[in-house]
């Protein structure tokens, strides 16, 4: 398998939409719910990849099965990948992982779809994956942290309500703990701290990659001009640009909800979020 492509994001960052649209590329294989339902029988997903190349069956198959993160599949083949309490590093890779995972991923490919596309949210796991696949490409889809934090507060799977002792991101360091307490343990502040933690983890991991294997795509720019964003991504990954792919991505209707945090949060909560994220908003160009 050559140069698998990993789309990464903090969650609620637009990476799911980017992944779905990128999966329209005719050279890419990806994981569907079939991988979760039959993690030991990858021929089912490979058959789906073949069906995608048929004119009518491909359209029907894509409507029925969408690309996903498929953590049940990962849990079957690599315990610990699904919900680690910290980022997974190169030093976490075992010899068992090295023997088992590449052949499993290779079994997902077809004669026409010889590049693997996979999306990850939460911890980037870049170090672990790069150790497995030294020629992998990583695309980070990131979004205004205020929009991400507001979105986290609105989904039922956010575990921040249980506090840092029971969420997925490990204990807060002394600085973050003090900041959270300074804001009276505000959940708005905690959601912002989560975005900040994951952005820092991604930046740290990306800094260890060889040049040319990591790129960032701002959600806002992607929504404003998806064709231009995918032209960059396709070139970065060494894929071919095709009229078929362009028609597919132009068929999507994209809308941004980046300003919802202004309507959803009180003025006091907005001030807290701005204070928590100030440095990182400037760093990533959000002012």
CATH number of the domain enclosing 51: 3.40.50.300
pLDDT confidence of residue 140: 98
Residue pLDDT, tens place only, 75-107: 999 999 999 999 999 999 999 999 999 999 999
- Positions in the chain short of pLDDT 50: none
pLDDT confidence of residue 287: 80
pLDDT confidence of residue 199: 98
CA distance 282 to 276: 12
pLDDT confidence of residue 32: 98
pLDDT confidence of residue 141: 98
List residues bridging with 29 in a β-sheet. Answer: 116
Number of domains in the chain: 1
Q: State whether the Cα torsion 63-64-67-69 is positive or negative.
A: positive
Q: Which domain holds residue 226?
A: 5-283
Which runs of consecutive H residues, i.e. helices, occur in 133-242?
145-152, 174-182, 187-206, 219-224, 226-237
Spell 51-72 as b/e; 16+ CB within 10 A means b: bbeeeeebeebbeebebbbbbe
pLDDT confidence of residue 1: 85
The tokens describing 280, both together, are 């990182």
CA distance 186 to 127: 32
Indicate the pTM of the whole model. Answer: 0.97
């Amino acid at each position: 398998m050559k140069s698998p492509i990993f789309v990464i994001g903090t969650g609620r960052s637009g990476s799911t939409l980017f992944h779905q649209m990128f999966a329209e590329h005719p050279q890419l294989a990806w994981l569907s719910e079939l991988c979760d339902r039959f993690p030991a029988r990858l021929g089912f997903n490979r058959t789906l990849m073949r069906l995608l190349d048929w004119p009518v069956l491909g359209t029907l198959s894509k409507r029925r099965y969408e690309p996903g993160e498929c953590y049940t599949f990962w849990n079957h083949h690599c315990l610990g990948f699904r919900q680690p309490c910290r980022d997974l590093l190169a030093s976490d890779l075992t010899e068992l992982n090295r023997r088992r995972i590449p052949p499993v991923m290779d079994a997902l490919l077809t004669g026409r779809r010889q590049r693997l596309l996979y999306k990850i949210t939460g911890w980037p796991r870049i170090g672990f994956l790069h150790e497995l696949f030294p020629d992998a490409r990583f695309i980070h889809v990131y979004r205004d942290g205020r929009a991400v934090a507001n979105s986290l507060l609105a989904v039922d799977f956010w575990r921040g309500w249980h506090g840092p002792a029971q969420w997925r991101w490990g204990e807060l360091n002394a600085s973050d703990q003090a900041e959270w307490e300074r804001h009276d343990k505000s959940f708005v502040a905690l959601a912002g701290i989560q975005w900040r933690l994951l952005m820092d983890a991604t930046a740290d991991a990306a800094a260890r990659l060889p040049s040319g294997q990591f790129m960032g795509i701002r959600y806002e720019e992607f929504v404003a001009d998806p064709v231009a964003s995918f032209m960059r991504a396709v070139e970065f990954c060494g894929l071919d640009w095709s009229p078929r792919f362009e028609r597919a991505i132009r068929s999507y209707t994209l809308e941004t909800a980046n300003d919802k945090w202004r309507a959803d949060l009180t003025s006091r909560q907005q001030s807290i979020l701005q204070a928590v994220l100030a440095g990182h908003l400037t760093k990533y160009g959000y002012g």
